[in-house]
Chains A and B, each alone.
Chain A
Amino acid sequence: MSAKNPEYDFKWCPGCGDFGVRRALEFAVADRSKRTGLSMENNVVVAGIGCSGNLVHLLEGPQPYGFHGIHGRSLPIALGVKMARPELNVIIVAGDGDFLSIGAEHIGPQAARNLNVCCVIMDNGVYGLTKGQSSPTTHFGQTTSSTPYGKIEDAMNPLDMYLTMGVSFIASGFSSQPRVLAKLIGEGMDHQGFALVHVQSPCTTSMTPTT
């Protein structure tokens, strides 16, 4: 249950890495507002589907605009927002399933366009909300609910992929250090171009190793 909206009853599991990412994003956006003097409604958070996407409803304090769309399409929605209103600060929050599997086709085009948005990818190596299926970053051989005999593909290395696609800002962080992560996200937002902040954000329920 969210403090701002008693009707909203989505809960992250105790110990979920996404709590730390949310805190980091709140720090980063508040800091940016202070630096630029632009009020919170000049920020738009575009969310993917899954545990990570629910972050948009759980932000505390003054609220940015949010767009919680459909699975895998946070980048095209963000493209529309940014091209229509370049002055808005556009942030994407998505998970490894949303961003790297169903939504992977959208990364390359934004990298080529150097779309001026900042993506915060919460990588827990599993489809958490649907209860523990393998994702692109799940390790080879890992047993999950959808790979009962072990995963038969190699794990994707997202950072390598971003690099080869020509993403102009790539950072890697960890959810347990919100202050450090906030700095990375802040730099990503300030970067004039396509910024990906890839965060290891463990799933404490599925306990799938990702690194």
Chain B
Amino acid sequence: MQRQDFVARFAGEGGQGVVTAAEMLARAAASVGYHVQTFATFPSQIMGGPTWTQTRISTTPVLSPGDDLDVLVALNREAYDTHQEEVRDGGVVLHDSAFDIPSDNRAIGMPFDELAKQAGEARAANMVIIGALAHLVNMPLSYFEEFVRQRFKGRDAIIASNIKALGLGHEHAASSEVQLGELGSPTKPAYEQLLIKGNEALCLGAMAAGLDFYVGYPISPATPILVFMERNLVDHGKFAYQVSSEIEAINSVLGASFSGKKAMTATSGPGLSLMSEGLGLGWIAEIPAVVVDVQRGGPATGLPTKTEQSDLLAALHPAHGDVRLPIIAPGSVEECFYGMINAINWAERYQGPVILLSEHSLAERSQNILKPDLSKVVVEGRKVYKGSDGYLRYDGFEMSPFPVPGHPGSYVANGSEHDAMGDTTHLPSRHVQMTQRRFSKLKLLENGTYEAENQSEPIAVMTWGGSKGPTQEAYNALIAQGYRIGWYYTTQLHPLPPKLLEELRHKELVIVPELNYQGQFASILRSMGVRAEAITQYIGLPFKVRELVKNITEMANSHKKGMVKA
């Protein structure tokens, strides 16, 4: 029987090409039509330190990086020791024969570097490994040869040596006579697809939404967004720039947006903390802005290169005073693209800051997505004031058109409580009006959409953000086992679509898997009258599907009515 799915983990030291090998396997597989997803984790240092990347290839859409390994590629002894337990029964450990491992009947030792040198390219050890993997699941080498020809186009000598390295790896693995079973053939989709990372999808989404102005400050894991924008946001009238701090970033985003430009910045938790006061300023002065928070682990410097979903409460209430910011949290690479467009549209629509919450594992994840059809992307422009001078910018209780410097309608955008003209005031009636005005604008964002399945079930699962994939896979497994449970999901965490909230309020139990200690989303749902309980994890890594299945089943069954099988 053919296998539908193949999970390989590449583990070694930073700088050994672990990430490159996994990415190459993913790209080559995607180029022939497989569905792929990668997961990368590494320490916070330039070179060295234990690093690993996982690539999952499938004939059907991939929701998670996979719990168990079909193949562990171990590039040093430490990698073998750390990861060998996760190799499934019947799996393979492919290791560099330059180091010894304990007797292990799953192991195939190969001289990766030696074979690369024989092929005439010392840097082609990745190709030796990929050749060996191709043998293990009986994938035609032609898939990879074509990939090499495209990747190194015009450099014939490199193409020849890399193809030779593929062949040598393949031969060497074949001589071991170990086989994992043939991976089913890919179905080349009728549509064009892209293999991109979460961070790249955010950038493309921002540009599709008409972003004019980007500033940022380097911080893991959001730095790739700054790097992308510096290279690509370069058209006439566009601006991308590295500023001197996150404080400078948020305030200059507000200055640019005040001047009529669509503006954003991206950061991680520490930067979000520094932006607190500026976000409050954007809220009270009613200035559109988007802040991407690519979450990492822990407070202060915490875990800069690990994944967690622990900034939700901070993102919802980043500032002092009565402030509750809109939040969009994409859960896949594709949702990063569309979520970013949504975030920029929201900021312009309600005239205030919007937080887009991503996270390390999503930012670094490569995933195949349907190439977006830009003609179908809805881009919302700002409602601009076109009248004469003497405009009451902050009049009434609703969003009002935005005056643009250089045109009539001058006013003071004010971070102090203000009257309709924007001048500072302490009158109680003004503070009441302005506070209500700021909150009433959130209603403009209540037309969000959500996913719902098995809506009549009294117990449902509802995760958020990057935990979507593993949770969806766990949900599918539960349904396949005959359990009765509902599924809810939205990228629009605040304001939640009102109909979704209404449905959730009628549930006996809403189970919320999320990567933080406090069960932050569950606590928010409870504050809104939903009987929500969290399944938490805070180890710096995403959920494993198997554990979610177990924990969801246990939590549901401990409930008074339980999750009965159909």
Binding site for B on A (CB under 8 A): 2, 5, 7-10, 40-42, 44, 46, 54, 56-57, 62-70, 73, 76-85, 87-88, 105-106, 108-109
Contacts and interface: CB of A to CB of B under 8 A. Distances in A.
B412 A67 contact: yes
Interface in B217-273: 239, 241, 243-245, 247-261, 263
A67 B255 contact: yes
B422 interface: yes
B410 A85 contact: no
Given A41-B405, A73-B278, A84 B421 contact: no
Contacts of A65: 258, 403, 405, 410-413
A64 B403 CA distance: 12
Nearest to B251: A76
Given A42-B405, A54-B424, 14 more contacts: A7-B419, A67-B255, A68-B414, A69-B415, A73-B278, A79-B251, A80-B254, A81-B259, A81-B405, A82-B255, A83-B256, A84-B261, A108-B244, A109-B244
A10 B406 contact: no
B554 interface: no
Contacts of B78: none
Contacts of B414: 66, 68
B67 interface: no
A73 B423 CA distance: 19
Contact of A81 (B248, B255, B285, B403): B255
B100 interface: no
Nearest to A108: B244
Given A42-B406, A64-B410, A79 B248 contact: yes
Minimum-distance CB pairs A-B, first 8: A80-B255, A80-B252, A76-B251, A66-B412, A84-B256, A8-B423, A80-B256, A77-B255
B255 A84 contact: yes
A79 B405 contact: no
B408 interface: yes
A10 B419 CA distance: 13
Interface string B14-36: 00000000000000000000000
B319 to A, nearest CB: 10
Contact of B253 (A40, A54, A80): A80
B244 A83 contact: no
Contact of B415 (A68, A79, A87, A108): A68
B244 A106 contact: yes
Given A66-B422, A80-B253, A41 B406 contact: yes
Nearest to A45: B412
- Max chain A CB contacts within 10 Å: which of B239, B259, B277, B416? B259
A2 B247 CA distance: 32
Interface in B401-459: 403, 405-416, 419, 421-427, 430
Contacts of B213: 80, 83-84
Contacts of A9: 425-426
A73 B260 CA distance: 19
Contacts of B421: 5, 7-8
Interface in B467-496: none
A66 B256 contact: no
Contacts of A109: 243-244, 248
B212 interface: yes
Contacts of B425: 7-9
Given A57-B424, A69-B254, A80 B259 contact: yes
- Max chain A CB contacts within 10 Å: which of B406, B411, B412, B419? B412
A70 B260 contact: no
Nearest to A68: B414
Contacts, number: 153
Interface in B255-311: 255-261, 263, 277-278, 280-281, 285
B547 interface: no
Interface residues of B, number: 52
B423 A44 contact: no
B287 to A, nearest CB: 9
A174 B424 CA distance: 27
Nearest to B427: A7
Contacts of B422: 66, 68
A44 B405 contact: yes
Contact of B247 (A40, A66, A73, A78): A73
B389 interface: yes
A63 B389 contact: yes
Nearest to B244: A109
- Max chain B CB contacts within 10 Å: which of A40, A77, A87? A77
A175 to B, nearest CB: 22
A70 B406 contact: no
Contacts of B419: 5, 7-8
A63 B410 contact: yes
A57 B423 contact: yes
Contact of A44 (B254, B259, B416): B259
Contacts of A73: 247, 251, 277-278, 281
A78 B243 CA distance: 13
A69 B281 contact: yes
B20 to A, nearest CB: 36
Contacts of A83: 213, 239, 241, 252, 256
Contacts of A62: 389
B286 to A, nearest CB: 12
Contacts of B426: 9
A46 B245 CA distance: 19
Contact of B424 (A10, A78, A82): A10
- Max chain A CB contacts within 10 Å: which of B239, B251, B254, B413? B251
Contacts of B407: 41
B245 A69 contact: no
Given A42-B405, A69-B415, A77 B251 contact: yes
B473 to A, nearest CB: 43
B278 A80 contact: no
B416 A81 contact: no
10 contacts: A5-B419, A7-B425, A7-B430, A64-B410, A65-B403, A66-B414, A68-B424, A83-B241, A83-B256, A84-B212
Given A76-B243, A109-B244, A40 B251 contact: no
Contact of B406 (A76, A77, A80, A87): A87
Given A5-B419, A68-B412, A84 B247 contact: no
Nearest to B430: A7
Contacts of A105: 244-245, 247
A8 B213 CA distance: 34
Nearest to A80: B255
B174 to A, nearest CB: 59
A76 to B, nearest CB: 3
B412 A46 contact: no
Interface in B367-417: 389, 403, 405-416
Contacts of A10: 424
Contact of B259 (A57, A66, A84, A108): A84
Contacts of A108: 244
B451 to A, nearest CB: 37
